[in-house]
Amino acid sequence: MKVTYDYRGSTVLVTGGGSGIGMASASAFAAAGAHVVVADLSADRGNAAVESIRAAGGKAEFRRVDVAREAEVIDMVDYVRRTHGRLDVAHNNAGIEAINVPLAEAPSDNWRKVLDVNLSSVFYCLKAQIPVMVAQGGGAIVNTASAAGLIGGFNLGVYTATKHGVVGLTKAAAMDYATKGVRINALCPGAIDTPFLAELPKPFLDRLIFGTPMTRLGTPAEMAQAVLWLCSDAASYVTGHALAVDGGTVLGGIGTRFDDLLEQVAKPQ
């Protein structure tokens, strides 16, 4: 079944829009008629994303931002408000991996960096975006958290803490603005096929896929579909929700699946 959305007349801001999930979301919003501001640390990636959106007939522009710097975030949102007169949708998505080691070995400077980029950034974005949306009578925000915003993970303490923080911030902010027409939700992706996972050695990636009930990576386009739905009128009664789009990853299980080992153990008589 093909689902389509109509975002004509909307101004959409996507951070981390130059790659992966953000780029897919920016492209999908543009394909649905929105004007998209692609914000990213990398001008190369951001401009390339804008080019590809324009080549497909969409409307987009690039704005460079380091979301870990509050002044730059304020500037970015102010630019959108001044230039377009409104901000209908914000997808606060930029994020980075941490150094993945057992917690006691996690370097403190990496903790501070990942906290700044993954969590403080969302706080800065919400602070800047919400007043614009309240003043115009409403809007929708999606913060990209992670399956690691809902459950723990081996060697993922730093990253997990930042993404649980994103979910917490989303829920609390959603309550504060529920009567002001601003809906705020979180997207919790599982393992998604983006450059984010490119550094992962193949055996690790295979293990990640095997541990996912659907035994495959998700696609950035699948994340974009969830974001477009969350921001649409179809989700008009949904706020403060942390939506796992993860092939079943957060369903649990006791650490790992072992159906591949069943043949190695004695069959019951």
Ligand X SMILES: NC(=O)c1ccc[n+]([C@@H]2O[C@H](COP(=O)([O-])OP(=O)(O)OC[C@H]3O[C@@H](n4cnc5c(N)ncnc54)[C@H](O)[C@@H]3O)[C@@H](O)[C@H]2O)c1
Site residues, ligand X (CB under 6 A): 15-16, 18-22, 40-42, 45, 65-68, 93-96, 117, 144, 146, 189, 191-192, 194-197
Identify which of 138, 122, 136 has the alpha carbon closest to the alpha carbon of residue 236.
138
Judged by beta carbon, residue 6 or residue 199, the one nearer ligand X is: 199
Judged by beta carbon, residue 189 or residue 211, the one nearer ligand X is: 189
Residue 140 Cβ vs ligand X, minimum distance, rounded to whole Å? 18
Judged by beta carbon, residue 15 or residue 27, the one nearer ligand X is: 15
Judged by beta carbon, residue 47 or residue 136, the one nearer ligand X is: 47
Residue 72 Cβ vs ligand X, minimum distance, rounded to whole Å? 8
Residue type, 16: G
Instruction: Give the number of other Cβ atoms within 10 Å of residue 144's Cβ.
Output: 27
Those residues whose C-beta lies under 8 Å from the C-beta of residue 212, and which sit 6 or more positions away, are 190, 191, 246, 247, 248, 249
Specify the length of the chain in residues: 269
Tokens of 206: 């295979």
Identify which of 140, 138, 187, 191 has the alpha carbon closest to the alpha carbon of residue 166.
187
Catalytic residue among 5, 7, 159, 177: 159
Judged by beta carbon, residue 35 or residue 45, the one nearer ligand X is: 45
Residue 44 Cβ vs ligand X, minimum distance, rounded to whole Å? 9
Residue type, 75: D
| Residue 189 CA: distances (Å) to CA of 113, 115, 130 | 21, 18, 24
159 is annotated as an active-site residue: yes
Residue 173 Cβ vs ligand X, minimum distance, rounded to whole Å? 17
Residue 267 Cβ vs ligand X, minimum distance, rounded to whole Å? 37
Q: How much is the CA Rg of the chain, to the nearest whole Å?
A: 19
Q: How far apart are CA 179 and CA 156, in angstroms?
A: 36
Identify which of 163, 249, 225, 166 has the alpha carbon closest to the alpha carbon of residue 21.
225
Provide the annotated active-site residues: 159
